[in-house]
Amino acid sequence: MEFKIQKDTFLNALFRIQGIVDKKHTIPILSNVFIEAYDNQIILSATDLEIGLKTCFKCEVKENGKITISAKKLFEIIKELPNDIINIKEKNNYWIEISCGNSLFNLVGLPPDEFPKIPEQSNDLIDFDSNILNKMIYSTVFSVSNDETKFNLTGIFVKFDDNKLNFASTDGHRLSVISKELNFQLSEKFKNGFILPKKGIIELNKIIDTNGKMIKIGVTENLFNYVDENTTFVMRMIDGDFPDYKRVIPEKTDNYSTIEVKKFTDVLKRISVLSNEKTKGVKINIFDNKLVVSSSNPDFGDAKEEMDVVYKGDDITIGFNARYIIDILNIINEEKINFYIKDNISPGMIIPLNNEEYLSVVMPMRF
């Protein structure tokens, strides 16, 4: 195997697979990238047996072949080379020679036949807007649970229901849901619902083309598939049942305030500086067109700030984790939100003022 490729092209290809390769070295070859060269293109593959990616790029192939090389070391070497043409040549015993300008590296690899086969893509793929997929992931991935003991919460729940594709995630403290109405039907697997793992979702979001191009998505029995112009991505679904998230979404109440997103975010950031370091708890007091955010930390002091809002409901004083609300506000592109709070013990619900496709529920804190 021998090929020549522009540094930026090769570096971009290698960057895509860095988060996928197995860094625990439980199976040594899973920390390698599988490189195939033929027909003036290279195909790079990586897998940790739960998610897998294949991506191809044009280059000048002098001799066909295949090899597996440490993904991390290859990426580190290519990253430091001059911005020029790089020559990769296979040598004996699964070694490769990397040359660029006056630089020369030799890397040892492993037999390509030992690399596990990445599952074939589904035959039942549908066209989908890449921007919509990107937005649905971005709007929900931040509230996925990191608690591995609650494995059914460590991913995004996907379900097609009532002509809407729904993405939902929760860590037990907050819930995020985004729904997009579609003018076409999805398969029975989408209608039954499934959970996609956080790692797979994060890696998928890195490769989604956000230039409004159409991509393809589909599912098999336990795999989710993504296909674009030069990339195939698969991830294994989480085997578990996602809780009925609709049961924790509160009814809209007359006690709601209309708040400017940026001002609210800035106030929460300032006041949470003197909140408890672990819980980030702040107290929110809402009354006649006013919202007051306060915090207290016995080791450092206290803080309070008032802001104007639109509010005509009952006076309410309630506690929240400021970090949770800030996370929600950061992914909302609208200028204002409606913040629904029934009383001082009920969860709060945030909905963008002019876009009800998205909502988030936050559990209150006791003071």
- Give the separation between CA 340 and CA 260, rounded to whole angstroms: 14
Above 80 in pLDDT, residue 206? yes
Condensed to tens digits (0 to 9), the pLDDT of residues 242-259 reads 999 999 999 999 999 999
Phi (first) and psi of residue 229, to 5 degrees: -55, -40
pLDDT band at 329 (very low <50, low <70, confident <90, very high): very high
pTM: predicted TM-score of the whole model, two decimal places: 0.93
Q: Positive or negative CA dihedral for 246, 239, 235, 107?
A: positive
Cβ–Cβ < 8 Å for 245, 157? yes
pLDDT value of residue 119: 83
Above 80 in pLDDT, residue 225? yes
In Å, the largest CA–CA distance within the chain is 78
Radius of gyration of the chain, Cα coordinates, nearest whole angstrom: 25
pLDDT band at 15 (very low <50, low <70, confident <90, very high): very high
Tally of CB atoms within 10 A around 192: 10
pLDDT value of residue 353: 95
What percentage of the chain exceeds 90 in pLDDT? 90
pLDDT value of residue 100: 96
pLDDT value of residue 45: 97
- How far apart, in Å, are the Cα atoms of 141 and each of 58, 116, 237, 283? 33, 29, 15, 26
Domains and CATH numbers, the chain: 2-114 (3.10.150.10), 126-247 (3.10.150.10), 250-362 (3.10.150.10)
- How far apart, in Å, are the Cα atoms of 230 and each of 13, 41, 57, 207, 303? 11, 11, 7, 11, 53
Above 80 in pLDDT, residue 237? yes
- Give the separation between CA 350 and CA 359, rounded to whole angstroms: 6
Above 90 in pLDDT, residue 182? yes
